[in-house]
Structure 1
Amino acid sequence: MAIDVDKDGKVGCAYYVAMDEALVLEEDISMGGIEAVETFLLHVQPTSVIIPNRSPSDLIEFLERDAHRPDDGIDSESGHGAYILRHVVSMQFDYDSGKEALANIDPGQTEPSGVEVATAGEEPVLSIGSLAHGRLMRLAEKVNLESCLSVGCASAILTDLERRRVVEDTTSSFDEPTFQFRVRSIEMNTPIDTMLLSGDTLISLQILQSELHPNLQTRSSNGSEPKAKEALSITGLLLALASSAQGKRRLRQILLRPSTNIRLIQERHRCIEVLLRPDNAEVTKHMRKLLRKLKNTKTLLLHVRKGVDRVRGQLSIRVGDWKALLRFAMVSAQLKRAIHTLEKSVGVEIFDRIRTEIDVNRFLHIGDIIIRTIDFQLSKESGHTEIQTEASEYLDGLRREFADVCHMLPEIKESVVRESPREAAQYIRHCTVMPQEGFLIAVGLDPETGEGIYHGQGSLEGEWMRYFTNEDAVYYKNQLMLDLDSQYGDLPSRISEEEIEVIMALAAAVLEHEEPILGAAELFGELDSMLAFALAAEKYNWAAPTLTSSNTIDIKGGRHPLQELLVPSFIPNDCSIAGGCGGGESGQGAAVGQSEEKPSTLILTGPNNSGKSVYMKQVALIVYLAHTGSYVPATHATVGVTDRILTRIATRETVVNDESAFLVDLKQAAFSMNFATRRSLLLIDEFGKGTNSESGSALLAAYLTYFLDLEVEAPKVLAGTHFHEVFDNGLLQSRQTLAFAHMDVRLDPEAEDPEDQVTFLFRLLPGRGTSSLGVLCAAANGVPTEVISRAEEIVALLDKNESLVDAYSKLSEKDEQELAQAKLVARRFLTLEVPALGRGQKKNEFKIREMLEAVLAIEHVGGTLRA
């Protein structure tokens, strides 16, 4: 992945998918900043990130935070997974070079595509009708050339691919298939018909949440780079229900790019409805079993495209790949038959495409070719790929000839023994034939000399030619071996070469159908993703939402899809809000009426731990799931098209980042104000808590007022706060588009156990909550009693609007008594008359002591002090 950010915060991005051999460009995002970069990282999960040397410092610091270094262990807690960060010269991000390089790519070519670097002073001819102009016009059909930063990122990607190809050519071995880093397709992701989800939104709503895999061996692919797995999240919840690699991949694409196309969403709902029909239950169960048998088709075809070669005595394309391709052909036919048996499936796009686009006869033909070529039983026994008999007449002839030679080897040994001295016979072990070496005589090894004990000495033809030595034998050739080599040639190598030719012919035959195979795999991935949605709806009791063009959200009995899995029972709640109706769109009359009846901003107050944050998140997740085409956790939901979900919920701090928690909150708030539209949904949870209450409440009031003042362009806002002074002091003016709600609780102050003094009902009620019950929450969570008592005193004084300074400047009754006693002692001491004594007089010493004791002698009589 290549990322570039200019001085104004515009973000460009391009990345290369090695498995698909596809170069993907993103639309430039104005004022995207670090938030947009984080979103790209979460979507793509790159293994390598390239940035120019001129990158701003905040981008470098952000990327270095999760970058993988060679000396890093496997204990990184990165949410994005480790990647290698590389700084390159800024010229590699040149827009003109990127545009020219993209125009010169031919996706249909068989050789890897590289960057054509123009010579100094040479400029491409762009006159109308020229070849370069024609290429540029074709490129403009697929790529928005106005996204200058992303085009420059594509230039850096292509340059890096060329470098990687050179490295692979010089360092690759034949042990494993290697990527050729060619570009077979160019794509551009545009925000059209796609809901925008920022990185904060993805993490705050737990749509994505990665953690290191608990298995140390699984964490590390090459001994150093940590691997992450999906934790409890919406993505993890649904991916676990997909059956195939294609399905998981397609489902992740759907989840990370929710659609705003109502027709597409309704089509997915129709598909899920068919799959959930009771009379289709057995068919859908059978289809899931079939899909589990499919391996990643793109990986299989990648191995086939790499070609074959003899490596260590076996073919480099594993027999398991051929078996997987054969299984794909069989499963394709079975899935198509299953689709035909689905009730009410006619007219649903995905099912109709499978019926019309998948050619079962083509796939069965591929399977028949594989069966007639590969001997799977013999391959299983031998451990490597074996060719079927009758797959090649020439190969069969070579095998028969080699078998005859093998039968002759004992006779050849006897012939060698007869021509050798009698005492040498015991040292000649056997005769053999080896690839590239031909016929050889194996003789016992003399450990003292390192030579064979006998190697032709004393024979008529003289000493034999030594070829090589292994652990306990030395191999020689004599004239007989040379004659046999001349007569039969290198039979093992010829057999190996012919096997390679047969496998290459099989690979060519399969690759003739590559596009239909990949197309079918994509259809099966789409089907698998819909089966996952259907299984989630059935397993978790989700209902079909209604998507509308009206700018409204109306939810009945909504639930949090993750929270309800972690508690014994979950209390559902409703939600009814509507955004602005500006823009003059056609067909928005209903929206105008609804926006007059429903508020655009709903402020939640009430006790801590009562469920306010869960409620806001569940509303956002229901809206999000509705736009993916999934059913939603609610009794009923009518969801208006929402272009983006923005959050100010989670304050993600780190010791690496020198920004305070309050500054992080402010940046999230600024991002939502810059990007929110009337069709956006905003979640604001406890904004302003990072500073003093006066400034925090003022900022919250101004923040909410900003959105309310937008009127017909106002977004839908859910806000939770404990700043009651915002409302008590009139900082937020009452208006029709503003509503209040709180979470219901029951109080029992007489209960002995602090945990029993407050009961959370987790039920949303209209109106403001008057208290956050923070002291009771503290008592229920083990805060010491003296701290709770002190807090209750302070709260009581604040509720009476009394001055804390005046209240705590008064002395307690005990302190007042001690002060009065001290004053009385002081007055008595000052009035004490001490007699004057002359030199040497000691008779009054004890009288003075008695006088002082009398001064200190004080008694309480009737509540007063007396001497």
Structure 2
Amino acid sequence: MTHSDASPLIRQYREIKRGYPDSVLFFRVGDFYEMFDEDAREASRLLSIALTSRDKSSTDPVPLCGIPYHASQGYIAKLLKAGRTVALCEQVEDPKSAKGLVRREVVRLYTPGTLVDTEFLSPSESNFLTAICRSSRSAADGHFLWGLAGLDVSTGEFWVMEFGGIAGTAQMLDELVRVEPREVLYPESAQSILSFVTDLRGIKVCPQPATKFNAEHASITLQTHFQVHSLDGFGCQGLTVALGSAGAVWQYFRETQPTASFDHVRRVQRRWNHDAMHLDQATIRNLELVRPLNGDQPGVERGKTVLSVLDRTVTSMGGRLLRDWLLRPLLDREAIQRRLDAVAELKNAVPQRVAIRTILRSVQDIARLSSRMTLRAAGPRECIALKESLSTLPELRAQLETFNSSLLTTLRDQWDDCRDISTLIEDAIHPEAPLVLRDGNIIREGYHGAVDDLRKTRVEGKEWIAALEARERNRTGIDSLKIRYNQVFGYYIEITKANLQKVPPDYSRKQTLVNAERFMTHELSELERRVTGSEAQLASLEEELFGQVRDRIAREVSRLQSMSGLLATVDVLTGLAEAAALGRYVQPTVDNSDVIAIVDGRHPVVESLNHEQMFVANDTRLDGNDNRLLILTGPNMAGKSTYLRQVALIVLLAQIGSFVPATEARIGLADRVFTRVGASDNLAGGQSTFMVEMTESAHILNSATNRSLILLDEIGRGTSTYDGLSIAWAIAEYIHDQHYLGARTLFATHYHEMTQLESLRDGIKNYRVAVREQDGDVVFLRKIMPGGADRSYGIHVAKLAGLPGPVITRAQEVLTRLEQPDSSSESTTTPLQHDDRRTLPQPHSVIDEVRQIDLFSMTPLDALNRLAELQKRVTQPQ
């Protein structure tokens, strides 16, 4: 069907659809949202609903599918999950008063980064829309300047950041990993930016016209919104590309929510990269802070994370704040101490802590509720939820009166009971108000006289109709006569076919049914006009009054947002105190020294997973002098990686203000925590395991300082033995050397040769994971002991892993042969066939000589001469 042949409705649909080619258009027709053409085909497939057609008699019928408008949220959620966006097109005039075709407009565009509906949002995670852009290369240092902006529409949180210098790109990507935005905007003219964000899973990437990233225009727009003459008061002085990104976010928000208010966005905050510890992607991933390492593997149950073990919050606001704290550990000792003191007080005050947590359980998500008020998306039930949440504030403040720590005192001094807001809702909104406005009975009795009068009229009108029904039965003698109502015909008198001969002449026929007929009288018509008129007036007035109440609440959004932040902080602090009490955590001493001293430290996640066995605790001593670099050896599965991770986690937990899983802990502040633990290919990026390992190692060496904590596990294992050992040795020396880094480091390795470093360099210590051999098997004791391991126990580990018996036996034979110093001698325990010995790898005679060379006592010239001599011997014909 051509456009000119289409019906007026279809032409209107297609005209609106042209403005939203990439979205599924939900087109309101009466009580349904309908989709046509290709949208109908796609929606039918994705939503599993019937595909039919409009104008079936036509030679070219229009594909059609539809859903009830009151059930739209579930269908929208499915489309969003499938990666689509939805344009909601509503009837913006009353069909009864419309002349011709009802006017329709798109009132909202549903995209992953602009959601405010509770059904679509994770309660304990933020929902950020972000934008990134970059400048051309700087003439000063030759590097890009990156701008990043984020807006959580559901809470009004709005921030900007800029990154420059050699590490700018990596820092910007690390921030995106921490934020986990649902949607990322970028200039369509800068397609190369896509290469930086394609590895970020679950994020919708949206190109936008480059004009939307204009910093000057963004500055004017934001100044107008915030009613200020300059953004310098928000810390934005000197920003360029960050403001461009902010402008893109703002414009996208306005375009997708054309009817929404922006009043809940009260400020734009400048985030500095040095405000908190910068955790890179590898560290967040390796330490499983918020996502388990196996979480993205199909068929694998999602495991626990540090966040899931630590999270004892009872409000959505607290859950989001705890996640933010965990990914942004503090660097300021005084701020850390304020949190620790508050947690200590709450941990010791058990009755008050229990009382606070009990009260908080009845507090709803005030941050998102207040935002929905300003967006005019909140319904009557949400007003009741807000009132019930605010009603807890006086009792919570009374509980905080008993505490003396600096942070809790500050929270109490900033407290606002918001009594006027809760009183307004209490007076205006019916306590059993419905979920949606159309169901009526919203305004409380006594709040507005006109509402009460109309309700009285409605009640009396129904009584009048009941009295009329009784009179008509008496007048006609028809005992089965009934006055009924439906939305199509309104009120009518229904009489069965058997009684039609008794119908009075003043009855006018309205409808004929199979077994009955429906009639109308002049008196019933008048009553209907009065009753239905009062109901329509009542519905309209209640909706108007509710809008006024909602707008009055919206004007107090800044107060509600402030209290949301205070409540979230109280929730996190009490949650940390609860976690400390349940997990037997202790308060760490945090100072500005270079000492990390942990007594009986434990891994919080591993400990929580293994309830049947007692976790083996271990001590740790790191500092900038004698214990600068600890080399840890031992077999696989013995617990080296767990030990490395637990040290890092104890440091991180201490610096977010949490108690730590240990008997005692002293934490000298770390400016960064780096981890190179585990290995994986980056197939999408074309990088092997070894390349990923070297890239991450290079990042650590180029970014760490002497205040950093570095954890390295099995560096060099992705290449040949001698290459790997050489690289691992050189990296260890570089980190240890105070002229380069001098950073506190735990270095786990299978290269036993590296234990020689302890005797060659001051500040390097050897430790091993204790094992015990028992009846030919190995028992992992999980205890970290001084000294280096003398064996790898690889075959024992292979046996535990389930390799077939013949493989284990043969491996032992090969190992025994290789370990014999004289290759010509016969093994008395595992005799090999002559052919076997010939095919086994034989050590070259030069290797033993190389092992005996004391590199650190030779001059460079001696080393070159010695190398030339060895090379000549290796290459000359045998």
TM-score normalised to structure 1 length: 0.71
Which residue does the alignment assign to 2:367? 298
Which amino acid letter does the alignment assign opposite residue 574 of structure 1? D
Which amino acid letter does the alignment assign opposite residue 570 of structure 1? F
5 Å-filtered alignment, 1:543-622, equals: 543-567=586-610, 568-578=613-623, 595-596=624-625, 598-622=626-650
5 Å-filtered alignment, 1:465-504, equals: 479-480=522-523, 490-504=533-547
Indicate which of 449, 453, 462 corresponds to 1:406. 462
Which residue does the alignment assign to 1:772? 792
Q: What do the CA deviations read for 1:68-125 (whole angstroms, capped 9, x no partner)?
A: xxxxxxxxxxxxxx23222334443344444444444x236xxxxxxxxxxxxxxxxx
Instruction: Tell me how far apart the structure 2 counterparts of residues 470 and 740 of structure 1 sit (CA, whole Å).
Output: 96
Report if the CA contact (8 A) 2:264-2:371 is conserved: no
Which residue does the alignment assign to 1:192? 274
Q: What displacement does 1:469 show? A: 10
5 Å-filtered alignment, 1:403-802, equals: 403-412=459-468, 429-430=482-483, 440-443=491-494, 459=506, 479-480=522-523, 490-511=533-554, 513-567=556-610, 568-578=613-623, 595-596=624-625, 598-653=626-681, 655-711=683-739, 713-726=741-754, 734-748=760-774, 751=775, 754-755=776-777, 758-800=778-820
Instruction: Tell me how far apart the structure 2 counterparts of residues 470 and 16 of structure 1 sit (CA, whole Å).
Output: 59
201-210 or 510-519, which deviates more: 510-519
The aligned length equals 691
Q: What do the CA deviations read for 1:669-689 (whole angstroms, capped 9, x no partner)?
A: 111122111211111111111
Instruction: Tell me how far apart the structure 1 counterparts of residues 301 and 145 of structure 2 sit (CA, whole Å).
Output: 31
Q: What displacement does 1:790 show? A: 3.8
Q: What displacement does 1:724 show? A: 2.6
Q: Secondary structure at the match of 2:398?
A: helix
Query: Structure 1 residues 508, 159: CA separation in 2 closer, same or farther (over 3 Å shift)?
Result: closer
Indicate which of 355, 358, 362 corresponds to 1:289. 358
* 1:237 paired to 2:309: yes
Which amino acid letter does the alignment assign opposite residue 368 of structure 2? T
Q: What do the CA deviations read for 1:272-314 (whole angstroms, capped 9, x no partner)?
A: 111122xx21221121111111110123223433448xxxxxx
Query: Structure 1 residues 570, 494: CA separation in 2 closer, same or farther (over 3 Å shift)?
Result: same
Q: What displacement does 1:211 show? A: 8.7
Instruction: Tell me how far apart the structure 1 counterparts of residues 347 and 785 of structure 2 sit (CA, whole Å).
Output: 35
Report if the CA contact (8 A) 1:379-1:385 is conserved: yes
Instruction: Tell me how far apart the structure 2 counterparts of residues 633 and 366 of structure 1 sit (CA, whole Å).
Output: 43
Percent identical residues: 23
Which residue does the alignment assign to 2:384? 323
Instruction: Tell me how far apart the structure 1 counterparts of residues 501 and 162 of structure 2 sit (CA, whole Å).
Output: 77
Instruction: Tell me how far apart the structure 2 counterparts of residues 337 and 547 of structure 1 sit (CA, whole Å).
Output: 31
Q: Secondary structure at the match of 2:604?
A: coil
Which amino acid letter does the alignment assign opposite residue 770 of structure 2? D
* 1:39 paired to 2:159: no
Instruction: Tell me how far apart the structure 2 counterparts of residues 373 and 606 of structure 1 sit (CA, whole Å).
Output: 70
Report if the CA contact (8 A) 2:654-2:660 is conserved: yes
Which residue does the alignment assign to 1:72? none
Q: Secondary structure at the match of 1:490?
A: helix
Indicate which of 232, 243, 255 corresponds to 1:140. 232
Report if the CA contact (8 A) 1:194-1:258 is conserved: yes
* 1:83 paired to 2:203: yes
Q: Secondary structure at the match of 2:385?
A: helix
Instruction: Tell me how far apart the structure 1 counterparts of residues 646 and 693 of structure 2 sit (CA, whole Å).
Output: 21
Q: What displacement does 1:563 show? A: 1.6
Q: What displacement does 1:13 show? A: 2.1
Which residue does the alignment assign to 2:397? 336
* 1:358 paired to 2:420: no
Q: What displacement does 1:665 show? A: 0.6
Which amino acid letter does the alignment assign opposite residue 566 of structure 2? L
Query: Structure 1 residues 517, 474: CA separation in 2 closer, same or farther (over 3 Å shift)?
Result: farther
Instruction: Tell me how far apart the structure 2 counterparts of residues 359 and 157 of structure 1 sit (CA, whole Å).
Output: 32
Q: What displacement does 1:550 show? A: 1.4
Report if the CA contact (8 A) 2:682-2:689 is conserved: no
Q: What do the CA deviations read for 1:38-72 (whole angstroms, capped 9, x no partner)?
A: 53343222222223335565x635644555xxxxx
Between the two structures, name the one with larger relative contact order (CA 8 Å, sep ≥ 6).
1
Query: Structure 1 residues 563, 213: CA separation in 2 closer, same or farther (over 3 Å shift)?
Result: closer
Which residue does the alignment assign to 2:450? 394
Which residue does the alignment assign to 2:160? 25
Which amino acid letter does the alignment assign opposite residue 603 of structure 1? I
Report if the CA contact (8 A) 2:309-2:604 is conserved: no
Which amino acid letter does the alignment assign opposite residue 387 of structure 1? I
Which residue does the alignment assign to 1:79? none
Q: What displacement does 1:793 show? A: 4.2
Q: Secondary structure at the match of 2:304?
A: coil
Instruction: Tell me how far apart the structure 2 counterparts of residues 5 and 491 of structure 1 sit (CA, whole Å).
Output: 60
Which amino acid letter does the alignment assign opposite residue 256 of structure 1? L
5 Å-filtered alignment, 1:165-184, equals: 165-166=257-258, 169=259, 183-184=265-266
Instruction: Tell me how far apart the structure 2 counterparts of residues 229 and 528 of structure 1 sit (CA, whole Å).
Output: 29
* 1:260 paired to 2:394: no
Instruction: Tell me how far apart the structure 2 counterparts of residues 475 and 299 of structure 1 sit (CA, whole Å).
Output: 51
Q: Which runs of 5+ in 1 are unaligned?
A: 68-81, 109-133, 170-177, 215-225, 309-315, 447-451, 579-594, 817-867
RMSD: 4.0
Instruction: Tell me how far apart the structure 2 counterparts of residues 259 and 492 of structure 1 sit (CA, whole Å).
Output: 59
Indicate which of 313, 323, 348 corresponds to 2:406. 348
Which residue does the alignment assign to 1:584? none
Instruction: Tell me how far apart the structure 2 counterparts of residues 564 and 759 of structure 1 sit (CA, whole Å).
Output: 19
Indicate which of 132, 155, 161 corresponds to 1:3. 132
Report if the CA contact (8 A) 1:374-1:387 is conserved: yes
Instruction: Tell me how far apart the structure 2 counterparts of residues 53 and 505 of structure 1 sit (CA, whole Å).
Output: 42
Report if the CA contact (8 A) 1:9-1:32 is conserved: no
Which amino acid letter does the alignment assign opposite residue 718 of structure 1? L
Query: Structure 1 residues 298, 442: CA separation in 2 closer, same or farther (over 3 Å shift)?
Result: farther
Report if the CA contact (8 A) 2:707-2:744 is conserved: yes
Instruction: Tell me how far apart the structure 2 counterparts of residues 35 and 469 of structure 1 sit (CA, whole Å).
Output: 76
Report if the CA contact (8 A) 1:14-1:26 is conserved: yes
Q: What do the CA deviations read for 1:601-643 (whole angstroms, capped 9, x no partner)?
A: 2111122222221111111111100100001111111111111
Report if the CA contact (8 A) 1:797-1:804 is conserved: no
Q: Which runs of 5+ in 2 are unaligned?
A: 1-129, 138-142, 837-878
Report if the CA contact (8 A) 1:375-1:388 is conserved: yes
Q: What displacement does 1:427 show? A: 9.6
Q: What do the CA deviations read for 1:716-738 (whole angstroms, capped 9, x no partner)?
A: 2211111234456x7x9822122
Which residue does the alignment assign to 2:13? none
Q: Secondary structure at the match of 1:51?
A: strand
Q: What displacement does 1:503 show? A: 2.7
Report if the CA contact (8 A) 2:442-2:546 is conserved: no
Q: What displacement does 1:656 show? A: 3.2
Q: What do the CA deviations read for 1:192-247 (whole angstroms, capped 9, x no partner)?
A: 33111111101101112159999xxxxxxxxxxx9x997411111122x1111121
Instruction: Tell me how far apart the structure 2 counterparts of residues 570 and 511 of structure 1 sit (CA, whole Å).
Output: 52
TM-score normalised to structure 2 length: 0.70
Indicate which of 60, 84, 96 corresponds to 2:194. 60
Q: What do the CA deviations read for 1:651-673 (whole angstroms, capped 9, x no partner)?
A: 23354342111111111011112
